[in-house]
Amino acid sequence: MSSLTFARSAFPDGFTFGAATSAYQIEGHAHGGAGPTHWDSFAATPGNVVRAEDGARACDHYHRWESDLDLIRDAGFDSYRFSTSWARVLPEGRGAPNPEGLDFYDRLVDGMLERGIKPFATLYHWELPQPLADLGGWRNRDIADWFADFTTLIMGRIGDRVHAAAPINEPWCVGWLSHFMGLHAPGLRDIRATARAMHHVLLAHGRSIQAMRALGMDNLGAVMNFEYPFPADDSPEAAQAARTYDGYYNRWFLSGVLKKGYPADVLAGLGPHMPTGWQDDFDTIATPVDWLGVNYYTCKRIAPRPDQPWPHLEEVPGPLPKTAMDWEIYPDGLHHFLTWIHREFDSGLPIYVTENGMASYDELQDGAVPDPARIDYLNSHLGAVQRAIADGVPVAGYFIWSLMDNYEWALGYEKRFGLVHVDFDTLERTPKASWHALAKALRA
Ligand code: FCB
C-alpha cells in the first residue's frame, strides 16, 4: 500500500492540516428552506452540466453532517474549511433570513468545536441567490452591499466561534470562468460582464472584510486560485500569451488587494469595459487582511491566437501525466506560487494552501477504495510546500480538496476528488486509502 511520506514534525509548530468542501457541492440544496440559486438555473439548462446534474441532493451533508465531521476528526485533521450558502441563509438574497439555515451553520460550527476541529469559513463559494442574479448578479455594483449585509448576518451568528474566515472563494472563477468562458453559472461569454464581475468581486470582498472587522472578528483572509502558465512553444508570441494569461488569472486579484491597482497588461483588454469610478474603490478592496489562501491544482499551456480578439490566446494540451480532470500534475507550480507571492507582494502575510488535490476514477473494491495516484499527488505537493517553507515562505497550513466526493460543478458527480468515497445512489461513505494514509501520518 502506498503511504504518505511526510511527518508532522517536518512542518513548523502550529502548522494546520485540514480538509475542504463547499456548501452547494455537498449539503443538498433542496433541504432546509434554501432559496434557488443561479447554479440551479444553470444546471437546468441543457448543455451546461454533465447529465444536467445539480446540487439538490449532493452528499446530503445537511442531514449527515455529524458523521461527516467525525470523518474529519478521525483523519486527524486540525481544521475544516467549509462554506456558508447565501441562499440557505437568505433565500431571496436579501430581506428575511431563513432561521433553519442560520441554525444549521450554528450547529455545524459547534460540532467542529466539540470535535477539536478549527472552523475555517468561506462566505461565498459560488451559489448566488437567483433573485440577485436576476438583478445582474456580479455585474451589478450593489452586490457589494448585498454581500456585506449577508456577511453581517451570518457572521453575527457564527463569527464568535469561527477560527478564520475568507469572503469569497476564487474570484477568478467568479469573474472570468463564469462571465468570459461561460463554463460556470451564470454562463455568460461577455467581456463587459467579465470586467464588471472582476471588479465587483473584489469590492464585495473588501466590504465583507470591513463588515467582519466591525463585528470584532480577526484572522480574516482572501482565497484565490492560481495556475502556472507555460508558453506553448519558444516563440515570443507564446511568451506574451502566457504572460497575459498570468495577468488575468494570477496577478489581477492579488494586485487589487495588496497593491491597490490592476496590472496594466490586463487593463489593456478589460479597461474599456470597466464600470465607472473603479479607480476610486481600492481603499475598500485593499482593506487589510491577515492571511492569504492559495488554491492550486495544475499548469496550463498557452498558445497565441493573434487572429482572435484580446486576450489573443488559447489553451492547448500539455505532455505531463494528468488527473481525471485532464489537468497536468505539476507540483513545482505550487512551490512557484508560494515563493512568488511572498517575494513579489512582500506582504509578510502567512499563506495557507486552502485547496489542493486531484480527481481520479476511484472504485469500491471489496469494501476498500485504493487511490494510490492521490497519495502520490499529496506527497509531491506537500513536498513542494516543504521546499517553500525551507525557502523562507511563512506557509501556515495545507487543506486538501476534498473531504469527500461531491458535485464537481459543470462536470457533475463523476469527478471524484474525495478522501472519502461517496456512493451517489446510497450516499454511503467509504474512506479511501488516502484517508487511511493521512490518518496514519497525522495521528503519528
Ligand atoms: C476549485 C473549487 C472547488 C472544486 C475544485 C476542484 O476551483 O474551489 O469547488 O471545484 O476546484
Burial (0-12, 13-18, 19+ Cβ within 10 Å), 108 = buried
- pLDDT at position 4: 93
- Catalytic site includes residue 355: yes
289 SS3 class: coil
Q: Is the CB of 39 under 6 A from ligand 1?
A: no
> Which of 406, 408, 413, 414 for a ligand 1 pocket mutation test, highest count of atoms within 8 Å of Cβ?
408
- pLDDT at position 296: 99
Kindly provide the b/e burial profile for residues 136-173, where b requires at least 16 CB atoms within 10 angstroms of the residue's own CB: bbbbbbebbebbbbbbbbbbebbbeebbbbbbbbbbbb
Per-residue CA distances from 87 to 102, 168, 403 (Å) = 11, 15, 23
CB contact at 8 A, 245 and 275: no
Q: Alpha-carbon distance 104 to 88, whole Å? A: 9
Q: Is the CB of 405 under 6 A from ligand 1?
A: no
Closest by CA to 421, choosing from 364, 374, 365, 357, is 364
pLDDT in tens, 272-320: 999 999 999 999 999 999 999 999 999 999 999 999 999 999 999 999 9
For residue 97, pLDDT over 80 is answered with yes
- pLDDT at position 444: 83
State the average pLDDT over residues 89-102: 98
State the average pLDDT over residues 85-94: 98
- pLDDT at position 61: 99
- pLDDT at position 302: 99
pLDDT in tens, 11-23: 999 999 999 999 9
State the average pLDDT over residues 171-184: 99
- pLDDT at position 7: 85
For residue 360, pLDDT over 70 is answered with yes
Closest by CA to 241, choosing from 329, 149, 308, is 308
pLDDT in tens, 384-438: 999 999 999 999 999 999 999 999 999 999 999 999 999 999 999 999 999 999 9
Q: Is the CB of 355 under 6 A from ligand 1?
A: yes
Q: Alpha-carbon distance 77 to 318, whole Å? A: 34
State the average pLDDT over residues 185-195: 98
277 C-alpha vs ligand 1 centroid, how far in Å? 32
Q: Alpha-carbon distance 384 to 227, whole Å? A: 15
CB contact at 8 A, 159 and 207: no
Would you place residue 137 in the very low, low, confident or very high pLDDT band (cuts 50, 70, 90)?
A: very high
Q: Is the CB of 170 under 6 A from ligand 1?
A: yes
As a residue count, the chain comes to 444
Residue nearest to atom 10 of ligand 1 (CA): 408
Which of 53, 127, 355, 408 is flagged as catalytic? 355
Cis omega (within 30 of 0) for bond into 321 = no
163 C-alpha vs ligand 1 centroid, how far in Å? 22
Retrieve residue 412's grid coordinates: 457533475
Radius of gyration of the chain (CA): 20
Position in ligand 1 atom list of the atom nearest CA 409: 10
> In the CATH hierarchy, which top-level class contains the domain 8-443?
alpha beta
> Which of 25, 170, 201 for a ligand 1 pocket mutation test, highest count of atoms within 8 Å of Cβ?
170
Q: Is the CB of 227 under 6 A from ligand 1?
A: no
CB contact at 8 A, 104 and 88: yes
The owner of cell 460582464 is 193
77 C-alpha vs ligand 1 centroid, how far in Å? 20
Q: Is the CB of 401 under 6 A from ligand 1?
A: yes
Burial (0-12, 13-18, 19+ Cβ within 10 Å), 96 = exposed
346 C-alpha vs ligand 1 centroid, how far in Å? 27
315 C-alpha vs ligand 1 centroid, how far in Å? 19
Q: Is the CB of 83 under 6 A from ligand 1?
A: no
Q: Alpha-carbon distance 145 to 419, whole Å? A: 37
Q: Is the CB of 409 under 6 A from ligand 1?
A: yes
pLDDT in tens, 42-52: 999 999 999 99
State the average pLDDT over residues 61-69: 99
- pLDDT at position 2: 79
Q: Compute the C-alpha angle 171/174/177, nearest 5°.
A: 110
Burial (0-12, 13-18, 19+ Cβ within 10 Å), 309 = exposed
Q: Is the CB of 178 under 6 A from ligand 1?
A: no
- pLDDT at position 426: 98
Averaged pLDDT of the chain: 98
- pLDDT at position 245: 98
- pLDDT at position 211: 99
pLDDT in tens, 269-282: 999 999 999 999 99
- Catalytic site includes residue 66: no
The pTM for the full model equals: 0.98
Which of 27, 53, 127, 170 is flagged as catalytic? 170
State the average pLDDT over residues 375-389: 98
Domain boundaries, the chain: 8-443
Q: Is the CB of 169 under 6 A from ligand 1?
A: yes
- pLDDT at position 224: 98
| Percent above pLDDT 90 for the chain | 98
| Percent above pLDDT 70 for the chain | 100
> Which of 24, 294, 300, 355 for a ligand 1 pocket mutation test, highest count of atoms within 8 Å of Cβ?
355
Position in ligand 1 atom list of the atom nearest CA 173: 7
pLDDT in tens, 232-256: 999 999 999 999 999 999 999 999 9
For residue 1, pLDDT over 80 is answered with no
> Which of 59, 126, 401 for a ligand 1 pocket mutation test, highest count of atoms within 8 Å of Cβ?
401
